[in-house]
Structure 1
């Protein structure tokens, strides 16, 4: 059964080299087991989703430039998330601030081809039907 995601949840990008944590601002005024609960609109780069260390996506312009400079050898560069679309699908039957609640099976797409997944939702008891 899916779990509610809150501030401090651990995230991983398929092209990132390190995990990151989700930052949820308390604007929705809903708490779950202490920290603020997230909805699908908590996807803003450098606000909600922090960098994943180094990026190895060839679609990332900085990685492509560094790889070209290294004569085709894939050269990871610092990650700057480009998550411009909301998380999908969320929990459509549970609304937080009139948006679907974020559950631990949701995914967020990065413009550079990475898929951001939730490794640890930071909740233990709050399940979403």
Structure 2
């Protein structure tokens, strides 16, 4: 079952060399375990998504250029769809941004 992603969830780009955490700025009241939930509007370069090291396409700094989040939740926060651990975002340079693992801690029974 897909899980919602929250502030500091690690993202990766398949054309980058290092992961980076997402920074949620699209909303300020819906949270899980004290961390804001990410939405499809959390896609601004250097604000929500930091560089991913070196880009294998550009052969230079892997500064993200996100286009649109796909595979989002059907639920919305203030009209913005929530991101899930299965959500992906195409980069206009050619890479694909995805979630490494959710920042949430789940209790296993």
**Matched residues, number:** 106
Of Structure 1 and Structure 2, the greater helix share is in: 1
- Aligned ranges for residues 13-24 of structure 1 at < 5 Å? 13-24=13-24
| Alignment equivalent of 1:89, drawn from 43, 55, 71 | 71
The answer on 1:122 being equivalent to 2:103 is yes
| CA distance in structure 2 between the aligned counterparts of 1:42 and 1:121, rounded to whole angstroms | 15
| CA distance in structure 1 between the aligned counterparts of 2:56 and 2:91, rounded to whole angstroms | 13
| CA distance in structure 2 between the aligned counterparts of 1:28 and 1:34, rounded to whole angstroms | 11
| CA distance in structure 1 between the aligned counterparts of 2:70 and 2:37, rounded to whole angstroms | 16
**TM-score, scaled to structure 1:** 0.77
**TM-score, scaled to structure 2:** 0.90
- Where structure 2 has 5 or more consecutive residues not aligned to the other structure, the ranges are none
Over 3 Å counting, the alpha-carbon distance change for 1:26 and 1:33 in structure 2 is: farther
| CA distance in structure 2 between the aligned counterparts of 1:96 and 1:28, rounded to whole angstroms | 10
Note the C-alpha offset of 1:26.
Answer: 6.5
Of Structure 1 and Structure 2, the greater strand share is in: 2
